[in-house]
Amino acid sequence: MYKNGKYFSMILSEKIEIILFDADDTLWANNIYYLKAIDEFINLITAAGFQRDMVENTFDELEIKVVKERGYGSQNFVFILESLFAEFSGKSKKLIDRANLEKIITQFNLHPIQPPVLFAGVIETLEYLSKKYRLYLLTKGDYTEQQGKIQRAGVLPYFTDYFIPDEKDDTTYKNLLKEMKWKAESTCMVGNSPKSDINPALRNGMYAVFIPYKETWKLDKEPVQSIDGRLVILENFSDLKKIF
């Protein structure tokens, strides 16, 4: 059920004071809404005669470019859909009905304004942990959008504070440790993304709990680094109660 759990639990009981949590796809589902919209969009474009592989590759290339230049968030995702629709419509010999694009975007735009769907055991686990540790949220992206999701999720009572940087990388963790005057060896990061949550935390001397999610965004994927026994891998969020 969990790797290195027994050893890690012994360390945690002696050292950890601060636990940082990722939000999207750690506390609640998020990427599934993007994947659904992408699949529907690609189906719309391929119905006009374009090859699926080509459409997927074009989407991936633009997504990387847009994230780098404009950042994360729903608005930038919609910008990608709009841009690609214009591009493929200009190349297509068939009319691609814009009304179908509008349906995809309208449905997608519902998720950022609705309460997030929490994973099983999140509230109970946070309540348990908040009685023993100081808990903080660390989630990247558009500040207003992420803040809204945090507020609507009903998890704020369990957290001391939250941070919403534009990016989560080595520098983010280094600066946060310095600004908050936290000791890396007393701080643990919990998340689903090796690239944004786990590896940069480990490289900054922190502990980390990796909870893999099958629908993790592909741009957040990379091999997990296990450094000096400071990493544990769990199957479910509620398993945190077994190691803390």
Backbone conformation region of residue 112, classed left if phi is above 0, alpha if psi is from -120 to 50, else beta: alpha
Q: What's residue 92's pLDDT? A: 85
206/144 same-domain check: yes
**Mean pLDDT computed over 206-231:** 81
pLDDT of residue 10: 55
Among residues 98, 113, 128, which one ends one of the domains?
A: 113
pLDDT of 217 higher than 80: no
Report d(CA 125, CA 243) in Å as an integer: 12
Q: Does residue 73 contact residue 145 with C-beta atoms inside 8 Å?
A: yes
pLDDT score of 1 = 38
Residue 173 reports pLDDT greater than 90: yes
| Domains of the chain: total | 2
d(C-alpha 213, C-alpha 229), whole Å: 22
My answer on whether 44 and 135 are in the same domain is no
The answer on pLDDT for 2 being more than 50 is: no
pLDDT score of 228 more than 90 = no
- Is 146 in the same domain as 234? yes
* Same domain membership, residue 120 and residue 109: no
Angle between helix 74-91 and helix 98-108 axes, rounded to 10 deg: 170
Q: Has residue 109 got a pLDDT over 70? A: yes
Structure tokens at 56: 């997927």
pLDDT score for 71: 87
Where is average pLDDT lowest: 37-51, 117-131, 142-156, 210-224?
A: 210-224
- Give pTM, 2 decimals: 0.90
> Is the pLDDT score of 46 beyond 50?
yes
Q: Where is pLDDT greater, at 2 or 55?
A: 55
Predicted local confidence at residue 9, as pLDDT: 59
pLDDT category at 11 given cuts 50, 70, 90 is: low
Indicate whether 142 and 211 sit together in one domain.
Answer: yes
For residues 64 and 165, state if they share a domain: no
Are 146 and 209 part of one and the same domain? yes
Residues 76 and 129 in one domain: no
Domain boundary among 65, 86, 113: 113
Cβ–Cβ < 8 Å for 244, 19: yes
Do residue 226 and residue 124 come from a single domain? yes
Q: Are 212 and 168 part of one and the same domain?
A: yes
Full domain range(s) for residue 139: 2-28+116-242
Q: What is the CATH number of the domain that holds 220?
A: 3.40.50.1000
pLDDT tens digits for range 67-79: 989 989 999 999 9
Structure confidence at residue 219 as a pLDDT band (50, 70, 90)? low
Same domain, 206 and 163: yes
Query: Does the structure show a pLDDT above 60 at 143?
Result: yes
Taking the CA atoms of 161, 162, 165 and 168 in sequence, report the sign of the dihedral they define. Answer: positive
Last residue of a domain, one of 113, 146, 180: 113
> Residues 141, 59: one domain?
no
